[in-house]
Amino acid sequence: MAKLAVLFPGQGAQHVGMGRELHLAFPLARATYEAAADATAVDLARLSFEGPEAELRKTQNAQPAILTHGVACLRLLAEAGVEAQIAAGHSLGEYTAHVAAGSLDFEAAVRIVRRRGELMYEAGLRRPGTMAALLGLDRSAVGEVVEAAQAAGIVTAANLNSPTQTVISGEIAAVERACELARERGAKRAIRLEVSGAFHSPLMESAAAGLAEILDATPVTDAHFPVIANSTAAPVDTADAIRATLKAQLLAPVRWEESIRALVAAGFTAAVELGPGSVLKGLARAIAPELQVYAVGDPQGLEAALALLAAAERT
């Protein structure tokens, strides 16, 4: 089989109903949701399938729900005989990637991200902030906008998603000022995001400290295959490096564009996005159109991806 990467989405990909069809169709998916409920004492199946949306959107609920959906898809792919050689995940998705690589136990990971969400929410209460997506500006222009807006407070580039999509994060006044400046510079859109805090910014310092304590107390092993770290856009596979990059992640930008380019440079031509939605597939198309990405979040997506991967293998 050709070299295959698995990709995992982050917070914001969640939607009511995600994973329901997999749960109905596959005992392995049901077992995954049951294990997540046992690990967190939260009925993530009910929350994912029925909502309400406002409850699912809460950081402490969205993160374990998305991770569980991604792991259910991963296990079904493996059951069908498909094996990956590398993984990457966007923010929260980096934890799912480490489950895929065997460096984190699933039950431990779902507990960590549940607590990660709580810590991020609490940090947002302590130091209120927000995030915004800037579309249609290149990295240089975004850098100039952010630098100018820092006169109004803390603001930084948080998610370097594609050549023309960057998410910024920081204090509300500074983010709003950056949006104004971005529009003046010709941005196609500058949109405030519905988030509970300024993720991947210095405003998350208290959450990062709490998360570091949890990671130090959690068993982490060497990975079966490399995971591209958000904070470095470089592969890690040793327990020490994994723990260090996960600690760094919450305060560092998600270097997603560089991560996808690193996959392509390493010779990967195909990837499967596992979990809700297909945001990462769209970003990959903008970053590296030569990378073929299949989105798997339901039985139909799974069947299509398996057929396409099999066809690609025959050619």
CA distance 59 to 78: 29
> Among the options 48, 91, 162, 196, which is catalytic?
91
Active site residue 200: yes
Active site residue 15: no
> Among the options 103, 200, 231, 278, which is catalytic?
200
Residues β-bridged to residue 274: 296
41: left (phi over 0), alpha (psi -120 to 50) or beta: left
User: In 3D, which of 139, 92, 113 has the Cα closest to residue 277?
Assistant: 92
CB burial readout 154-183, b (16+ within 10 A) else e: bbbbbbbbbebbbbbbbbbbbbbbbbebbb
- For the annotated catalytic residues, the residue numbers are 91, 200
